[in-house]
Structure 1
Amino acid sequence: MGKLTRRARAKADYLGFIGAREWPLAASGLGVVLGVVTILPSAVGVVLSVVALALGVATFTRDVRLLRRRWAGFEFTTIAAPFPTAELPPPPSYPQAEYLAVPARGTALVSAAIDRDLWTGRHTIAVAEEPYRLPPVLKATAPHVLPLRARGRLLFNGPIVGMRGDPLPATGARPAPIRLHRARFFDAVCSNELGTLRITRAGTGEEYDLRKAELTGTDGALRELSSSTLADFVGVSTVAFTTDGKLVTVRQSSLNAVSGLLLAPSGSGSLEPRDLRTPDGGTRRYLHTAVCAGMERELCEESGLRPPDVRGTKLTGFARWLERGAKPEFFGVTELAVGSAEVAARRPVSGERLYSAGLTLFDVDLAAVGAALAAGVPLSEALPARLWEDGSLPLLLALRAAAAWRVAEI
């Protein structure tokens, strides 16, 4: 019943999003229905109702044609080439920034200096009162983009949290609060997720490339999150280790919209408004407590673990995923209070079983991986072959950040 309910909810979210933007067509359709329903038995009533019905049918037919013409006026092309990092340097404000490209999975902007600063847990957060709104140019393309992205997938328009600030290291005084905003998942689908699409107007040949239009700043470099116009929904991923040292990974199903059939972190998803609240209903003040709460929530949902099974989570890293509109991603490492045998017997919560195909446990020595990376060994050689070959980009980045933190703690 859980799977059927989630499929129904995905369809309702999709129709609601499209319907809210194409309401004139729905109104015309309603007029046709009312014209049929209101046919009266009297001769005059019949004539008037038939006239109203004819007008409604004509209007409805016109609106359908106009809608089809508008929807057919755009051509969508997938950009399969690797992200052009050479043409878009990192923001100058990001210290020690570099691009990390993983074939067939994506490109991330990483910074060892930002990661080390996050270990201190000094960043506070401030949540905007107004929710995120799509800018006009993205709102105009939203009805065309969503059907394309929803094809063959289950997408839910759930609440998420976006980020309008950069977790940059600050010398001396405590850094300024990181600004967050509330949004919906379809806002992200119709903004950040355009990063791998080229949109062309069929009539004029005019092209819209998000990488040039939204990600490039006036200085020619990648825009900071503070000046972005996208939803920039916050990704949270953690790698959890059992009491006997096993790494827990989640095998993604084919229905997963981003990392289908790949190995994902122990818990991975998006920050949600509920993660900004403490268990007693208070407001979280610090960035690390909010994102770690989101990581542990995702961990429990996707693995079937319970909060008492989690000893604690440490925020270890940050990145921006270029192909997904340079959205922010945070990474952590979680210490569990249960062994591998107990974890292997768990199942994800009912709502996650559509996306998770089960758990796989690995032997991973974080200290050894961290030492290899510090010595200049590429990530592809520092990690076990199976993890490098089958791991999603969030899993690889989470292991990289956790390994660097582990070495620093020794």
Structure 2
Amino acid sequence: MFFERAWDAVSRARYKIAIRVRVIVDIVLLAVGIALAFFGGTDIVALIGVSLTAISAILLFINLWKDEADKKRTRVVANPDFLQSLRSARLPNGFELKSGAIPRSENTNPTAGEFRPYITSEDVNAILDKSANPLAVEEVRFEVPRQLQEFRARSINIKLPNRNDPKIGLRNDITVDVLANSEILSVQETDYFSGAATNEMACDQFMSVPVLRSRRPSLQFAVADLVIDNNELVGLSESSLSNHIGISTVVFTADSFLVLQEQDEQMISSKEVAIGASGSLDLKDIEVTRHQNPTLQGLVRFGMEREATEELSAAFWPNRQNTTITGYARYLARGGKPEFFGITRTTSVFSELKPTKKDVRYVKNIVGRPFEPNKAGLARALEEILGEGQNSDKVYSMSMVVSLQMALSYLAKHKLVF
């Protein structure tokens, strides 16, 4: 665990250095100067090396000092108006605003992060699983928008993401027409840290702290301005955020157990209870599904089953559908990032489940909940779990709550066939 956390810190440091071009140039010049000073071969070359070393060391110090001063002059605070802006914003046709939080009586005036707002469409969810939308991968990799580039390092320091894995961003909105007409959907390579520096900062704003304490801080930039424009939720096709695709699925075993997870502190939803398996699509998922099932739906199903394999060591029938996609949403407190939900059946029995070595630090505990092995029994168990959340000392993750809501809505209207 120590070495994994140390490597996470190295990964964050490498990212923060990489986005500081001036610092990189200074380090390169410093290395060249030292090499010339010690191995130049002649006195003149050695003198040039010493001079270059001294100059680059001074520039490196100045640039690092300037970065630190800029950081002290910038304060990150929660945007108090974001939730109200979301509630009054115009939504895409057919979508409605919902809460992904378990209501608690003591929290009568929640923030956007506590309310956990998301939007979804029953009409979209009704045909999503049976649709087949081909994918097109954009050639240009995602770049953090200009307005947020200077805050990237600060955002990484706040959110503390772990590895900067390549991810997949969705660049089109999911609508009934798009699904019904099997339209091609565009996806784009992004990465985990770009999500942390864009989507994960949606509830925050950057304030400039004046040198004189008598003056009040002034607003530099509110990330919400990239989420809501002219009182309308920005669509994925116009969004300048990372929007990497999230996935969550209810998992049940061959011996009729629903699977719950207690997540460790390394997760976005750290120290919360999660349902089944959840995470996000990796860039490599596209390569795996390109020939097997080159559609958005095939990619999402594969990603859900991969997460279940990594987090639970779950096994699946080959060459058959093990996952039903139950719904689609956009998480507004995370910049409107796209999320897909499902129900997945594993061929494993509950006693065989355990996190893989790769994911053991993310999964604190795996809990099984028995249910009667039919559609009504599954729905009843899901309703009980959702209802217990109001009185539980343990906090349900947003993805768990929405996964339960999506699964129950789907089961009320459709047959579950595997």
Q: TM-score surpassing 0.5?
A: yes
Instruction: State the partner residue of 1:156.
Output: 163
C-alpha displacement of 1:332: 0.4
SS in 2 for 1:83: helix
In 2, Cα distance between equivalents of 1:172 and 1:335: 25
Aligned to 2:139: 129
* Separation of aligned partners in 1, 2:143 and 2:118: 26
**What amino acid is the match of 2:339?**
E
Question: Structure 2 unaligned runs (5+)?
Answer: 104-113, 211-216
Q: Which residue of 1 aligns with 2:259?
A: 248
Matched ranges for 1:176-325 at <5 A: 176-203=183-210, 205-211=218-224, 213-218=225-230, 220-256=231-267, 258-278=268-288, 282=291, 284-308=293-317, 312-325=322-335
For the pair 1:383 / 2:386, whether they are aligned, the reply is: yes
SS at match of 2:358: helix
Counterpart in the other structure of 1:100: 99
Answer yes or no: is the 8 Å Cα contact 1:250–1:360 preserved in 2: yes
Of 284-293 and 170-179, deviating more is: 170-179
Q: Distance in 1 between matches of 2:220 and 2:163?
A: 29
- Structure 2 vs 1, CA of residues 96 and 74 (structure 1 numbering), >3 Å: closer, same or farther? closer
Matched residue of 2:325: which SS? strand
**Contact 1:370–1:404 (8 Å) recurs in 2:** no
Matched residue, 2:63: 63
Distance 1:387 1:242 in 2: 26
Q: Which amino acid aligns with 1:144?
A: R
Aligned partner of 1:376 in structure 2 is: none
C-alpha deviation, 1:171, in angstroms: 8.9
Secondary structure at the aligned position of 1:251 is classed as strand
Shift of 1:185: 1.0
2: CA distance, partners of 1:121 / 1:36: 61
The one of 322, 341, 345 equivalent to 1:335 is 345
Q: Which residue of 2 aligns with 1:11?
A: 9
Residues 1:120 and 2:130 are matched in the alignment: yes
Structure 2 residue identity aligned to 1:349 = T
Superposed CA deviations along residues 228-258 of structure 1, whole A, max 9, x for unmatched, are: 11111100111111223211122101222x2
Q: The residue matched to 2:326 in structure 1 has which SS?
A: strand
Q: Deviations over 1:289-328 (max 9, x none)?
A: 1101000000100012234499600011111111111111
User: Displacement of 1:360 after TM fit?
Assistant: 0.9
Which amino acid in 1 is paired with 2:19? R
Q: How far, CA to CA, are the matches of 2:370 and 2:222 in structure 1? A: 42
Residue 89 (str. 1) matches residue 108 (str. 2): no
More displaced stretch, 296-305 vs 104-113: 104-113
Instruction: Report the Cα distance in structure 2 between the residues aligned to 1:121 and 1:352, rounded to whole angstroms.
Output: 32
Structure-1 separation of matches of 2:314 and 2:180: 39
Q: Deviations over 1:263-300 (max 9, x none)?
A: 11211111122222346x62743221110100000010
Unpaired segments ≥5 residues, structure 1: 374-378
2:410 alignment partner in structure 1? 405
The aligned amino acid for 1:231 is S
Given that 2:147 and 2:221 are in contact with CA atoms closer than 8 Å, whether structure 1 keeps it comes out as: no
TM-score (norm: length of structure 1): 0.84
Deviation by residue 1:325-383 (Cα, 9 ceiling, x = unmatched): 111110000112233333xxx3211121111112111245764786899xxxxx7x883
Q: CA deviation at 1:165?
A: 1.1
Does structure 2 retain, via aligned residues, the 8 Å contact 1:215–1:228? Answer: yes
> Structure 1 residues 60, 386: CA separation in 2 closer, same or farther (over 3 Å shift)?
closer
C-alpha offsets along residues 120-143 of structure 1, whole Å, 9 cap, x if unaligned? 224333221222122211222212
Superposition RMSD on alpha carbons, in Å? 3.2
Mapped to 1, the partners of 2:317 and 2:92 lie a distance apart of 43
Q: Is the 8 A contact 2:79 2:222 kept in 1?
A: no
> What is the TM-score normalised by the length of structure 2?
0.82
CA 116–46 in structure 1, closer or farther in 2 if over 3 Å, else same? closer
Tell me, in whole angstroms, the C-alpha distance in 1 between the residues paired with 2:296 and 2:46. 66
CA distance in 2 between counterparts of 1:293 and 1:28 reads: 45
Displacement of 1:30: 4.7
Alpha-carbon distance, 1:79 to partner: 4.5
The answer (yes or no) to whether the contact 2:132–2:179 under 8 Å persists in 1 is no
Amino acid of the structure 1 residue aligned with 2:280? S
Measure the CA separation in 1 of the matches of 2:229 and 2:378: 36
